[in-house]
Amino acid sequence: MKNVLVTGGAGFIGSNFIHYLLQTESDIKVVNYDALTYAGNLDSLADVADDPRYHFIHGNICDEAQVNSALKERQIDTIVHFAAESHVDRSILGPRQFIETNVLGTFTMLEAARAYWIKEKGQLLDRVRFHHVSTDEVFGSLKPGEPAWTEQTPYAPNSPYAASKASSDHLVRAYGHTYGLPYTITNCSNNYGPYQFPEKLIPVIILNALEGKPLPVYGDGQQIRDWLHVEDHCEAIHLVLKKGENGSTYNIGGENQPANLTIVETICDILDEIQPNAAYVPHRRLIQFVTDRPGHDRRYDMDTHKISAELGWRPRHTLKQGLLDTVQWYLSHPEWVAAIRQKQEYKGWMDANYKSR
């Protein structure tokens, strides 16, 4: 792993992963390949922009010629594929972009890797890896008392987003089986932490609470999710790249399953504690229950025994400490937050998704 191409590297998890790689691996070159759509933000990588080990390419994963050129020119031996449309609500309102990016984009990346690594023998196969980053949402929804999902759980996606990611997972496995493309897949739970675009639950709640705006909670707020700090996720992916078995899939979770309402209440309590003189204390009074998402999955739970037993990985962050760190990060990065709030895409999305609820 010397020349790594990170797709979607200007996004939330991708930018954190690039930071992690550059901090962890001294003898490495990282290429950030990103289309800079609404959630892509190079400000998240401003501190590494001048690092000679880092290079940015403004490109779309559906652009076959540009992807092929990037792999050859940079002699890429490892692809870490984060680039994806990833918001369930957005997939419900406009599924086409999810199929184009998540399915056709993954297909383009796989074809480029096969062309360079296998057809042209640009790299020795025991020294290359296509790592595909996926989601627990491909497994569907759990009923109360049902066991956590393992890597052998059959797929049962319920949203256009989940279906697009399930399709991309199947493509990666098919390229491994059919063409011998070396690959690994990780299915992760809900991520949170620094640099997350404020369309997801935790940053929406933090930023709304700071301004005294309503804190929207879908339905009764009793939907259960597993929450994974992004730094723990990056460490797990790094371990899979270094030690994971070719052709294997690994579940990555935070080993906690609170209700969404509990997450919101915990953030409110953290803000009350660290900003006791704020105008909106107690912040829980800002909670507002809104119309639920269509077909909202009720419960997720990940069995992470495999990655723990085989690679020795366990999450380092407790949920309470991780949420505290995340709140403090947003408080200490007002310029990053202000720049996001000025984006028309952010304003338009908040209006489109929440005003009618």
Q: What is the pLDDT of residues 271-307, one digit of tens each?
A: 999 999 999 999 999 999 999 988 899 999 999 999 9
Domain ranges in the chain?
3-191+230-253+296-317
The average confidence (pLDDT) of the chain is 95
Radius of gyration for the alpha carbons in the chain, expressed in angstroms and rounded: 20
**pLDDT tens-digit map of 184-202:** 999 999 999 999 998 899 9
Largest Cα–Cα distance in the chain?
64
pLDDT tens by residue, 268-281? 999 999 999 999 99
Nearest to 56 by CA among 29, 20, 77: 29
Q: Please say if the pLDDT value at position 341 is more than 90.
A: no
Q: What residues are labeled active site?
A: 136-137, 161
d(CA 62, CA 272): 45
CA distance 118 to 133: 22
Residue bearing the bigger pLDDT, 264 or 341 = 264
Task: Write down the pLDDT at residue 77.
Answer: 97
Provide the residue type at 96 as one letter. Answer: R
Amino acid symbol at 322: G
Tell whether domain 3-191+230-253+296-317 is in CATH 3.40.50.720: yes
State mean pLDDT over 156-171. Answer: 97
What is the model's pLDDT at position 343? 80
Mean pLDDT of 41-50: 97
Residues 6+ apart with CB under 8 A from 165: 84, 102, 134, 135, 137, 138, 157
